[in-house]
């Protein structure tokens, strides 16, 4: 009797200066997934590390044939690094996972369970954000509400990149060639049956986070402009409202002049009107610039990432 070949599960681990996290991560993987009835591929993507992260991975790869590493030529960003992992992963299912152990490897058992039940995407959902600062909780909640209200692609609230995707979801994402990549939206865009699994996100085990407020703000802006044209469309409505109010005010001035005669307009009201309409124009030009800038980047057709070495 021919033995049936086991399915392969690829773990994509994007890393940047995470030399302290490699060993604890591999220890957790070996401990938590030792009973997993799947063949594992541990695919690290080094996103331009300047410490000994690559050396740590190379040493581990010599001791474990499941470990592979894609070394990018420089820092292209986490979205590009995950794209490189997705492009090179050979698994029947793929899971992006953070190396800092805030994505608990033990949850992968639940992911695989639902995948075997027929779900193409099984995503981890944070059960609580009580450990986050109040400002971060508020901004995260607002982002998900605004994004899902304005975009035709809905993303689950409090769900990050940690998820299992079937091969047909991965193949669909590989056919999405955009350079400005918002992976949360791209993961959700193909559709297919999906389900969420709640979990408590632990604190970072070692190392420092690479995210700050400015990076998160730009990340949110990329997500909104990548999956919604509402910021462009809204200015048509704003323009219509302002035109209507201007017309009403014009009739008011004409009627006042007819019945009360000509008076001298005030400097304050004139300057207020000029500053108001000027600011509206600058904001609208800024929104146009965001989309034009993205069109400019897309039109160059530069590669999303460059691979320096694979081992």
**For residue range 208-228, what is the model confidence (pLDDT) as tens digits?**
555 555 565 565 666 566 666
Number of domain units in the chain: 2
DSSP for 11-26, please give it.
EEEEESS-TTTHHHHH
Backbone angles phi, psi at 42, to 5 degrees: -100, 100
pLDDT, residue 189, reads: 83
More confident: 193 or 293 = 193
Looking at the fold, whether 92 and 171 belong to one and the same domain comes out as yes
**For residue range 155-184, what is the model confidence (pLDDT) as tens digits?**
777 777 888 999 999 999 999 888 877 787
pLDDT, average across residues 275-286: 70
Query: How far is 281 from 289, CA to CA, in rounded Å?
Result: 12
In a domain, 220, yes or no: no
In a domain, 181, yes or no: yes
The SS3 of residue 44 is strand
pLDDT, residue 1, reads: 41
Query: How far is 89 from 83, CA to CA, in rounded Å?
Result: 10
More confident: 261 or 110 = 110
First to last CA, the chain: 35
In a domain, 244, yes or no: yes
Looking at the fold, whether 172 and 254 belong to one and the same domain comes out as no
Beta bridge partners of 280: none
**For residue range 88-138, what is the model confidence (pLDDT) as tens digits?**
999 999 999 999 888 889 999 999 999 999 999 998 887 766 655 665 656
pLDDT, residue 215, reads: 60
In b/e form, how buried is each residue of 201-224, taking b as 16+ CB within 10 angstroms?
A: beeeeebeeeeeeeeeeebbebbb
Looking at the fold, whether 113 and 250 belong to one and the same domain comes out as no
pLDDT, average across residues 282-311: 78
Domain that holds residue 80: 8-209+304-310
Angle at 119 between CA 148 and CA 103, to 5 degrees: 70
């Amino acid at each position: 009797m021919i033995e049936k070949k086991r399915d392969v599960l690829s773990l994509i681990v994007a890393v940047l200066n995470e030399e302290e996290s490699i060993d604890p991560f591999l220890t957790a993987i070996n401990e938590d997934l030792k009973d997993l009835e799947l063949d594992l591929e541990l695919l690290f993507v080094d996103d331009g590390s300047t410490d000994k992260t690559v050396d740590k991975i190379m040493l581990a790869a010599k001791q474990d044939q499941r470990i592979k590493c894609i070394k990018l030529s420089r820092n292209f960003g986490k979205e590009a690094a995950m794209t490189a992992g997705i492009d090179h992963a050979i698994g029947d299912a793929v899971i992006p996972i953070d190396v800092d152990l805030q994505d608990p490897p033990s949850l992968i058992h639940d992911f695989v369970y639902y995948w075997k039940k027929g779900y193409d995407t099984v995503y981890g959902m944070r059960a609580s954000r009580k450990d986050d600062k109040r400002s971060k909780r508020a901004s995260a909640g607002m982002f998900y509400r605004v994004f899902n209200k304005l975009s035709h692609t809905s993303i689950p609230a409090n769900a990050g990149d940690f998820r299992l995707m079937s091969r047909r979801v991965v193949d669909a994402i590989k056919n999405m060639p955009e350079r400005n990549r918002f992976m949360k939206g791209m993961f959700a865009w193909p559709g297919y049956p999906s389900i969420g699994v709640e979990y408590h996100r632990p604190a970072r085990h070692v190392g420092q986070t690479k995210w700050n407020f400015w990076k998160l703000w730009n990340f949110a802006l990329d997500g909104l402009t990548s999956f919604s044209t509402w910021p462009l469309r809204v200015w048509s409505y704003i323009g219509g409202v302002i035109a209507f109010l201007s017309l009403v005010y014009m009739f008011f001035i004409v009627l006042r002049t007819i019945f009360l005669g000509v008076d001298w307009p005030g400097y304050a009201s004139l300057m207020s009107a000029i500053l108001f309409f000027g600011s509206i124009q600058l904001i609208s030009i800024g929104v146009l610039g965001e989309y034009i800038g993205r069109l400019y980047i897309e039109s160059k057709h530069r590669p999303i990432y460059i691979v320096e070495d694979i081992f």
